Structure 1
Amino acid sequence: MREAGDVCYADVQKDGMGMVEYLRKEDMEYALRKLDDTKFRSHEGETSYIRVYPERSTSYGYSRSRSGSRGRDSPYQSRGSPHYFSPFRPY
């Protein structure tokens, strides 16, 4: 996912669903166009295929931490900088 641009956050959940935050909207758009259905290799050596799709603008229900320090409905950091999301699902 880093090949698309500057990643500020990435996480994969137990079910294989994951999320990537890009610093710039253009990087997210590039990931949507170019990384869909590509092979992904984890740092542990596992491989799978990525299915990329944009997150719906009204469903930011993903929280980075259990503490909920990040607003459930906010796509912005506390200092107000926008982040662009490119969720992915490996197959």
Structure 2
Amino acid sequence: MNSINEINSYFEEDISFEEFQEDLRTKRAVERNIEIIGEAMNRILKKKETIEISQAWQIVDVRNRIIHGYDSVSDNIIWTIIVQYLPILHKEVSTLIDEY
């Protein structure tokens, strides 16, 4: 949850996709946090493959692509993760935390 919150903190002020593309520090920080999220998800899935997180294996796949092949992860993919998938992941993780 910390990495999700950290990524969200970079976008407290609305920034455009173009501003994101030009901000190398923020891009690398977001990528690093996605790596952390992906590694955590990988470890969780090794213990419980049926965890109720949509896109769980895709999260691990993105982590692997970032770590092993930077040229294959475009700014568009990272931006889509931030805008479209991170809010869903945040909600699902919050729900799981509340259940335990």
Is the structural similarity TM-score above 0.5?
Answer: no
The normalised TM-score by structure 2 is 0.27
- Structure number with higher strand proportion: 1
> Which has the larger Rg?
2
TM-score, scaled relative to structure 1: 0.28
